[in-house]
Amino acid sequence: MTTTASAVHTYTYLRPSAVRGGAGGPELGLETSGGATPTGMSAHPRFFSGFVTAPEAAAAALLSVADVASARYYQRLAAASLDPVVTGNGDRLRFESFSGCCGVYARLDILGEGLDGDDIGHGTTNVDVNNPLREALVRVGPSDPLHLRVGPEELEVTTFDGPVVEKKVPLPDRWLRGFAETQVIASAFDLRAEVTAAEAVRLLRSLPRTRPGSGSALWVVQAGRSLRPTTRPVPGAVCLPGPDRLSALLRVLRHATGLRLYGPPATTASGAAASAWELLLPGMRLTLTLSPDPARGFSGEGAVLEALSGEEAAEDADLVSVLLAWEPRVDVGELARRSGLTAQRVRAALTVLGTAGRIGYDAAEAAYFHRELPYDAGRAERHNPRLRAARELVAAGAVRAEADGTFTVTAGDHDHRVRAGGEGLSCTCRWWARYRGGRGPCRHALAVRIALDARGGQDTRDTPASAATTTRAGAR
């Protein structure tokens, strides 16, 4: 995987991915592009060779991840063309993708019990998904064993000299920011509902295929052993913004063994929120995470901005990064012990590392995991307009402390009043009035945070609301 200054992503594969016949049955060969491994960068890393225990379900689930990668659920003008990412974590393979509109994040975890073969490697790369492969995956049935190979044959790495397959596609910065935002947003999720496969089929097939009116969202709440849609939020409910965005799950419904729903706490006053929908499959989990609104991609949610604004978190990230070792579950407590940092500072450092695509979050296990993407952490900051604007305000001396403990931030011809309270920093600007922190801090509040950090002042993240969030995350 390579990234150029012109934001073009280049995939280079030894040959196309394909389902090929063999003496022991069909082989699904997923070809890899350059990626990171424990021994350094590799042109064509190899992560696994063996059998999948549920061939038909695995083929359908891989197609679901590819469906999301090639879809746009908002302003459907053109298909996206980014190949899915695969990470070997030693005990599982994780396949990830984002929709072209950045509003849907898909992840397939093929767990150890879903694989029967050699050791699972460590590292991250892209895998080639092409139209002939899609057609072949549709034809995979349950009767024949399916051999899965992720990466080239060992001899091919050194002897292959035929023509390679090369894809060059635009790489939107919002795609990288989406990886960063989803791990922060998902870390606030808890399990809200769990139902059987039969109930999962009933619910998902009964959902409307058209989108509700602008600004509206469905909610789903568990009622006994079933799930009940509602138009209003209630405690324990999970938001379903844009039910048509769950269409990728329909491919695998016949293989499902259950359905779990994850989301943040809801009250009768809650606005639309992100949610995660996890289908349980034999030896696998397929999860779709939806942004709070079909018109809002994850890239603009602003969940990472406070961590990015602090110099301390950036320095801590350098220390924590050397302690990561491709863990399938990153233990925050163990990282705190080894680094000498508090658990809160470790989580902030992980957020910074997430802006380079190095950290993901698995709501099913309530744990972070390690992956490597070819980006530097500074790229997300450089391409974030709110953070850039906040730094410009500080550099221009636009932040002024008042005698009553509030702050005045002058932006152009307007003065905005920023104050610290139970919800963190609030502001008198239109952004705060519209979202009230639901999409991260505004540029004026960020400017105050940056100015306070520079002066060694109060950490405005240590408010009652932030403390509650930290306690919940630490309890995991």
pLDDT tens figures, 89-111:
999 999 999 888 889 999 999 99
SS3 368: strand
pLDDT, residue 271, reads 87
DSSP letter (8 states) at residue 267: -
Please check whether residue 290 lies inside any domain of the structure: yes
Length of the chain: 476
Q: What is the chain's alpha carbon radius of gyration, rounded to the nearest angstrom?
A: 23
Q: How many domains does the chain have?
A: 3
Strand 367-370 relative to strand 359-362, pairing = antiparallel
- Give the closest residue to 110 by CA, choosing from 65, 142, 67, 76: 65
Please check whether residue 246 lies inside any domain of the structure: yes
Please check whether residue 45 lies inside any domain of the structure: yes
Reply yes or no on whether the pLDDT at 49 is more than 80: yes
User: What is the distance between the alpha carbons of residues 303 and 177, in angstroms, rounded to a whole number?
Assistant: 10
pTM of the model: 0.83
Tell me which of 297, 318, 350 is where a domain ends: 297
The mean pLDDT value of the chain amounts to 84
The string of pLDDT tens digits covering residues 231-280 is 999 999 999 988 999 999 999 999 999 999 999 999 998 888 999 999 99
Mean pLDDT for the stretch of residues 152-158: 67
Reply yes or no on whether the pLDDT at 20 is more than 80: yes
DSSP letter (8 states) at residue 40: E
Distinct helix (H) and strand (E) counts, the chain: 14, 27
SS3 182: helix
Same structural domain, 190 and 242 = yes
Please check whether residue 316 lies inside any domain of the structure: no
Residue 103, number of CB atoms within 10 A of its CB:
27
User: What is the distance between the alpha carbons of residues 467 and 476, in angstroms, rounded to a whole number?
Assistant: 15
CATH number at residue 96: 3.10.150
Same structural domain, 63 and 125 = yes
Same structural domain, 225 and 132 = no
- The share of the chain scoring above pLDDT 90, in percent, equals 48
Please check whether residue 315 lies inside any domain of the structure: no
Please check whether residue 247 lies inside any domain of the structure: yes
Tokens of 413: 């011809």
Tell me which of 151, 170, 189 is where a domain ends: 170
- Given pLDDT bands bounded at 50, 70 and 90, which one contains residue 85? very high
Same structural domain, 200 and 155 = no
Taking a C-beta distance cutoff of 8 angstroms, is the pair 353, 314 a contact?
A: no
Same structural domain, 135 and 189 = no
The alpha helices in 35-93, defined as continuous H runs, are 55-69
Same structural domain, 50 and 92 = yes
For residue 87, the enclosing domain spans: 2-170
User: What is the distance between the alpha carbons of residues 1 and 247, in angstroms, rounded to a whole number?
Assistant: 29
Same structural domain, 437 and 400 = yes
Burial of residue 261 (number of CB atoms within 10 Å: 0-12, 13-18, 19+): buried
Same structural domain, 226 and 164 = no
Same structural domain, 91 and 121 = yes
**CB contact set of 204 (below 8 Å; sequence gap of 6+):** 246, 249, 250, 253, 259
Same structural domain, 157 and 256 = no
- Which CA distances in Å does 330 have to 42, 304, 315, 334? 24, 19, 19, 8
Same structural domain, 160 and 199 = no
Same structural domain, 196 and 213 = yes
Tell me which of 146, 170, 194 is where a domain ends: 170
Please check whether residue 375 lies inside any domain of the structure: no
